[in-house]
Amino acid sequence: MTGSVDVANLNEEQAREELARLADLIGAANIAYHQSDAPQISDAEYDALKWRNSEVEGRFPHLKRSDSPSDQVGAPVSEGFSKVTHAVRMLSLGNAFDDQDMFDFQERIQRYLGTDHGIAFTVEPKIDGLSLSLRYEHGKLTVAATRGDGAVGENVTENARTIKDIPHEIQNVPDVVEVRGEVYMSHADFADLNARQSERGGKTFANPRNAAAGSLRQLDANITRERPLRFFAYAWGELSEPLALTQQGAVARLAEFGFQTNPLTQRFDTMEAALEHYRLIEAQRATLGYDIDGVVYKVDDLALQSRLGFRSTTPRWAIAHKFPAELAWTRLLGIDIQVGRTGALSPVARLDPVTVGGVVVSNATLHNEDYIQGRDSNGDPIRDGKDIRIGDWVQVYRAGDVIPKIADVDLSKRPADAAPFAFPETCPECNSPAVREEGDAVRRCTGGLICPAQAVERLKHFVARKAFDIDGLGAKQIEMFFADPILPINEPADIFTLQARDSVNLARLKNRDGWGDKSAQNLFAAIDDKRTIGFGRLLFGLGIRHVGEAAGNLIAARYGNWAEFTHAMDQAQDPTSDAYTDLIAIDGVGQVMAESLLLAFAPGAERNGIDRLVAHLTIQDAEKPKTDGSPIAGQTLVFTGALERMSRTEAKARAESLGAKVSGSISAKTDLLIAGPGAGSKAKKAADLGIKTIDEDQWIDMITGL
Ligand SMILES: [Zn+2]
């Protein structure tokens, strides 16, 4: 493959092939980045591809393609927004990666201008956001446009008006001013947004840049309004009269107009001083509160800027000095194995602490034993198949807020006595055998509830919000009570005997550090509150592998009450029984979940624990589907559009209680579509497939009285 060949060694045929390959890769990455706001490769990888492309073009200029990525600054505008042709093109910047590149940049400028005088530069952080151009006519914001492909952008005026850093009107300005800058989201706002999104079951964003881009490019400005976007101004497009004589002066004017400008922007007389400021900004990178991916240098004198002008897509008078990728080498001190709720053994790299992109990293995920061996879950080599050994020098990388990973291993520095990592075949917490089932990349402890690590994780799951949700008894308190010598909670049943045990205990809970009479009473009351529990919630709370929230409710709805269900589980232990056939016949259960469920309810320690728990509970029957008289029993329903008389959740619950299955998408298996106002493609698809469609009123008529 040409991709791994050094550019200096490419022959002409290979170079042609390589340019085609790079054009494809960069083109695909551009589309993912600009149109779907979901980059598929890291910025560093992207820069590396572009760099390699320009290197190959540099060696073989006659092979440069007509669609060369070096001539493109972005992606074409997407459908959905109207187009805006920029009065002055919005260009991107060339990149520099080290100090030498910067001195070369200065020398090119001096050569072009035919001078050996020093050049003054402004230096500013390069905000990692989305470029935006704001056109003001007679002081009023008329158009806001994204960069798009540099010549034509998207009209996002309505959305831009919702951003509080963007004034709708500016005073004492030239008749026409186009202010350009970057829309971004702060780290704090990004974290809040993702928390809110996940609470609502919405999409979360990989990093602040994606969140900013996704928020600005909303077709509904009301959504943009809810998103905490910010804007820094640092440049301009069309002007009816100049703002100043220097870059620094012009930026000061933008600040006077009422725009936020970056406080780290400064002017320097020498490249050495400018580079020092680069290092200062880099050192502050992690504490700025927003993402930057480098520093931009601009020739300060605007007369010189205009003499220097542009190459095809980049100005000669400005350059972006990128920060090194968020990579760092350090030593792997050890590999810790953590045991999860379902017994999964997760290896974690313990690293000699190292700063990666401004953040100190001392742990990295190692996923599973294949990953340590240098293979992915399909068995394909990763890191060129290099395994990871304790004592190795490893390259750590960090992308956004993702857990750090190991990018590479330096075999030349491997200690002579470093042995391949022997992944434990017994659980480090309970010594039970840890096994890998076929097709499972994960090795699991078979200790079940005798394994303290699994037991404590299961207890945390048991008290989680979607399970028993006991006020004042969260993961932290579980850690405290677990294996407590006086008042232990070692299994779920112990929660419900806590008060009784406390009352006969001389070392009362209320006398402990951090507790008092009131907090102890509150805890006991909160526990009492959950002695009555829904069947589905209980089943989910047990933390049986593969039995999630939806499955818990599904199984509960099918069996109706606990006694009937446990009886069926007893019968179903015999795989030739009708009870077994019934169980695996439940739509949405399947063999894997059935086996897991049967294992939990087979006679033995786990079942005994469940029975001990249930003795303290009143289990509410699940609303069993009323199959008799229900016109929709056994049917598959889809809801689409807005419902006005009941919420989507209620509609879904009613349908399920009447024995129907609710699906999210139309297929040949759909029996009935309930379409409210605003139903779009689903209604059309249902019509195409000849599926019966009714409106909300008809739906309510259908279920009333059932
Ligand atoms: Zn174990």
pLDDT tier, 444 (very low <50, low <70, confident <90, very high otherwise): very high
Backbone angles phi, psi at 321, to 5 degrees: -95, 105
* CA-based nearest residue to 44, from 63, 23, 24, 29: 29
The per-residue pLDDT for 97 is: 85
11-40: pLDDT as tens digits: 888 888 888 888 888 877 776 665 555 656
Q: What angle do CA 264, 93, 313 make, to 5 degrees?
A: 155
Regarding whether 146 and 21 lie in a shared domain, the answer is: no
Confidence band for 668, pLDDT divided at 50, 70 and 90:
confident
Q: What is the CA radius of gyration of the chain?
A: 32
pLDDT, residue 39, reads 58
Average confidence (pLDDT) over 157-180: 94
- pTM of the full structure: 0.48
Q: How far is the CA of 423 from the centre of ligand 1 (A)?
A: 14
Q: Mean pLDDT lowest for which of 40-44, 119-123, 676-680, 683-687?
A: 40-44
Average pLDDT over residues 555-562: 90
Is the confidence at residue 401, as pLDDT, over 50? no
Cβ 400 vs Cβ 128: under 8 Å? no
The number of residues in the chain equals 706
If asked whether residues 229 and 318 sit together in one domain, one would say yes
For residues 241 and 302, membership in a common domain is answered with: yes
CATH number, domain of 101, equals 3.30.470.30
The dihedral sign for the CA sequence 465, 471, 474, 478 = negative
Instruction: Give 72-110 pLDDT, tens digit per residue.
Output: 655 544 556 888 999 888 888 988 988 999 999 999 999
Domain of 404: which CATH number?
2.40.50.140
Residues 550 and 676 both lie in one domain: no
| pLDDT(217) > 90 | no
Q: Which residues have C-beta under 5 Å from ligand 1, the single-atom ion?
A: 427, 429-430, 432, 445, 447, 451
Question: What is the span of the domain harbouring residue 582?
Answer: 534-620
Amino acid at position 697, single letter: D
Q: Determine the pLDDT at residue 1.
A: 46
Domain count, the chain: 6
With 80 as the cut, is the pLDDT of residue 292 above it? Answer: yes
Question: What does the DSSP assignment read for 449-460?
Answer: GGSHHHHHHHHH
Q: What is the mean pLDDT of the chain?
A: 87
Boundary of a domain, candidates 269, 289, 322 = 322
- Whether residue 430 is contained in a domain is answered as no
Name the band, by pLDDT with cuts 50, 70 and 90, for residue 342. confident
Residue-level pLDDT at 244: 96
The verdict on 312 and 384 lying in the same domain is: no
Q: Which residue has the tokens 């299955």?
A: 661
Alpha-carbon span 697 to 350, nearest angstrom = 61
Range from 248-257, 384-393, 552-561 carrying the lowest mean pLDDT: 552-561
Using alpha carbons only, what angle is made at residue 45 by residues 40 and 48, rounded to the nearest 5 degrees? Answer: 145
Among 503, 530, 557, where does a domain finish?
A: 530
- Domain containing residue 668: CATH number: 3.40.50.10190
Going by their DSSP bridges, the two strands 152-154 and 83-85 should be labelled as: antiparallel
Stretch 360-381: mean pLDDT = 87
- The pLDDT of residue 532 is 96
Q: Residue 454 C-alpha to ligand 1 middle, in angstroms?
A: 6
pLDDT tens, position by position, 127-153: 999 999 999 999 999 999 999 888 889
Task: Summarize pLDDT for 692-706 with one digit per residue, the tens.
Answer: 999 888 888 888 776
| 190 shares a domain with 104 | yes
Question: Is there a single domain that holds both residue 57 and residue 35?
Answer: yes
Pair 493, 571 in one domain: no
Question: Is 140 among the domain residues?
Answer: yes
Confidence category of residue 6, pLDDT binned at 50, 70, 90:
confident
The pLDDT tens digits for 497-523 are 999 999 988 889 999 888 999 999 999
Q: How far is CA 160 from CA 18, 137, 141, 156, 233, in A?
A: 40, 16, 10, 6, 13
Position 671 pLDDT exceeds 70: yes
Q: What is the CATH number of the domain that holds 49?
A: 1.10.287.610
Contact 489, 478 (CB under 8 A): yes
Dist. CA 246 → ligand 1 center (Å): 68
* 29 part of a folded domain: yes
pLDDT in tens, 579-606: 898 888 776 777 889 999 999 999 988 8
Which of 27-31, 550-554, 680-684, 697-701 is predicted least confidently? Answer: 27-31
Residue 357 confidence class, pLDDT cut points 50, 70, 90: low
Average pLDDT for residues 517-534, to the nearest whole number?
95
The answer to the question of residue 153 being in a domain is: yes
CA distance 106 to 125: 19
Predicted confidence (pLDDT) at residue 628 exceeds the cutoff of 90? no
Distance 25 CA to ligand 1 centre (A): 45
Give the catalytic positions in this structure: 126
* pLDDT grade for 237, boundaries at 50, 70 and 90: very high
CA of 563 from ligand 1 middle (Å) equals 31
For residues 151 and 218, membership in a common domain is answered with yes
**Together in a domain, 303 and 355:** no
Structure letter (DSSP) for residue 430: T
Same domain? For 122 and 94 the reply is yes
Mind listing the pLDDT tens digit for each residue in 466-482? 899 999 999 999 999 99
Residue 603: which CATH number?
A: 1.10.150.20
Is 441 a member of any domain? no
Are residue 159 and residue 242 in the same domain, yes or no?
Answer: yes
pLDDT at residue 481, rounded to an integer: 95
Where a domain ends, among 489, 505, 530? Answer: 530
Q: How far is the CA of 371 from the centre of ligand 1 (A)?
A: 21
The region, left, alpha or beta by phi > 0 then psi within -120 to 50, assigned to residue 196 is alpha
Q: Is residue 625 part of a domain?
A: no
Residue 420 located in a structural domain: no
User: Is the residue at 439 inside a domain?
Assistant: no
Residue of 577, 587, 606 whose CA lies nearest to 669: 587
Is the pLDDT score of 247 beyond 80? yes
Q: Could you read off the pLDDT of 49-76 as tens digits, one per residue?
A: 877 888 888 788 788 887 777 776 555 4
